[in-house]
Structure 1
């Protein structure tokens, strides 16, 4: 298993930086999974300088970003016909005020991950959660250190889908209705929320109760409303089925929600493709069964 790895400068400055918090929390899982980390130059240098992952052969150094390192990761997400240079996804710990996170190669990295159904992980919480999901899929016992991430009964989850993706969101929510119903609260934007409620009522959810609290539609500010929940740490997860092939007039609102997630990097997880969401749901439910 191979992941691209990059972190904006803020996230590898000092021993308590986000990159190192993730590595300390997940080093055992990284080694168990034999996870190969294809790390952009400065990120790799910071890991080595901090003495993290000592003796680990799965860390591979790429050029600095200015020398094309991030561009290399984009190409490897797409695939180069060589198994050892094909990535299964990418972790890019983003500082929301670092302009390099909006450079074309950074935007392309996310877009190609979404198009190819691979994880694009931008927060410490997301990176920790991905390691736990991969461990569960590999047959390992649940890590008690990940229990707080999977305390769904204390969490709010946002379910958002662009127009072309709404049928997939409805199918996904129906398939994983029991898991999603474990959350303390579900929120959604406009039409998606209405359709989710209709699906839930058809499944026996009490007619007098909404299954998903509806905010405004995306173009009318629903993404911004949910971004505010994320910033206030009142929404811990977002499943956001994006259509990467269509330009949207409210793109700024979508970026606002994604930026809010990266602002609270230790507290929020965002999944942006149906394939990744499917893997997460199956592993999360398997983890629930093993814990019980």
Structure 2
């Protein structure tokens, strides 16, 4: 398995940067998985300076961002002829106030991950969660250091889907209803929330009792309301099925939610692909049985 790796300057410019917090938490798991990390120049150099992943052959250096390093990752997420130049996803630890986080190559990296149903990981919590998910799928014993990520009974889950993705969200919720019901609270934007409640009532959830707490629709500010929950540390996981093929009138609100998630990088997990969300659900089920 190969993942692109990049981090904005804030996240590797000091000893306790987000990149290093993730590596300290997950280096053992990275080595267990023999995870290939294709790291953009400054990110790679920071890892070497910090004496992390010492002697780890699957860590590869790419050019600096200004020399096209991030652009190469985008192409490799799409896939190139050479097998070794096809990535399974990308870890891009984003500083939401760094201008480079909205450069075309940064936006394209996420978009192509979503289009090709590959993980796009933008927070420390998401990166920790992904490594543990892959460890479980590899048959490894659960890492106690990741227990906080799976403490659903104390966490709030946001379920958001663009119009074209609402059927996939309903199918996902139906398939994993028992797991999602373990969360202390679920929230959703307008129409998605109503349809999820109707699904829950059809599954025996008490009539009149909401399975998800509904906020405004996305265009009317629901994304901003959920962003506020994230900023207040009252929402720790978001499953956000995005449609990358259409222009959205409330694009600024969507970006606001994404920025809130990356602001709370250590606390918030975000998944944007039905395939990745399903893989996480299966790992959560298996982990709970061990």
Bin for the TM-score computed over the shorter chain: over 0.9
Q: How does 1:9-88 map to 2 (within 5 A)?
A: 9-88=9-88
Question: Cα distance, 1:120 vs. partner?
Answer: 0.2
Q: How does 1:225-264 map to 2 (within 5 A)?
A: 225-264=225-264
Question: Cα distance, 1:289 vs. partner?
Answer: 1.2
Q: Structure 2: which 5+ residue stretches go unaligned?
A: none
Question: Cα distance, 1:208 vs. partner?
Answer: 2.6
Give aligned pairs, total.
290
Is residue 155 of structure 2 the alignment partner of residue 155 of structure 1?
yes
Taking the aligned partners of 2:284 and 2:74, their CA distance within structure 1 comes to 28
Taking the aligned partners of 1:246 and 1:280, their CA distance within structure 2 comes to 26
Is residue 118 of structure 2 the alignment partner of residue 118 of structure 1?
yes
- Partner residue of 1:185? 185
- Partner residue of 1:281? 281
Deviates more, 1:75-84 or 1:37-46: 75-84
Question: Cα distance, 1:68 vs. partner?
Answer: 0.1
Question: Cα distance, 1:131 vs. partner?
Answer: 0.1
Question: Cα distance, 1:194 vs. partner?
Answer: 0.3
TM-align CA RMSD: 0.5
SS at match of 2:289: helix
CA displacement, residues 254-274 of structure 1 (integer Å, 9 cap, x when unaligned): 000000000010000110111
Normalising to structure 2: TM-score of the pair? 0.99
Q: Structure 1: which 5+ residue stretches go unaligned?
A: none
Taking the aligned partners of 2:23 and 2:164, their CA distance within structure 1 comes to 37
SS at match of 2:187: strand
Question: Cα distance, 1:53 vs. partner?
Answer: 0.6
SS at match of 2:248: coil
- Partner residue of 1:104? 104
CA displacement, residues 74-124 of structure 1 (integer Å, 9 cap, x when unaligned): 000000022111000000000000000000000000000000000000000
Taking the aligned partners of 2:81 and 2:138, their CA distance within structure 1 comes to 25
Normalising to structure 1: TM-score of the pair? 0.99
CA displacement, residues 3-24 of structure 1 (integer Å, 9 cap, x when unaligned): 0000000000111110000000
- Partner residue of 2:172? 172
- Partner residue of 2:216? 216
Question: Cα distance, 1:280 vs. partner?
Answer: 0.8
CA displacement, residues 53-82 of structure 1 (integer Å, 9 cap, x when unaligned): 111111000000000000000000000022
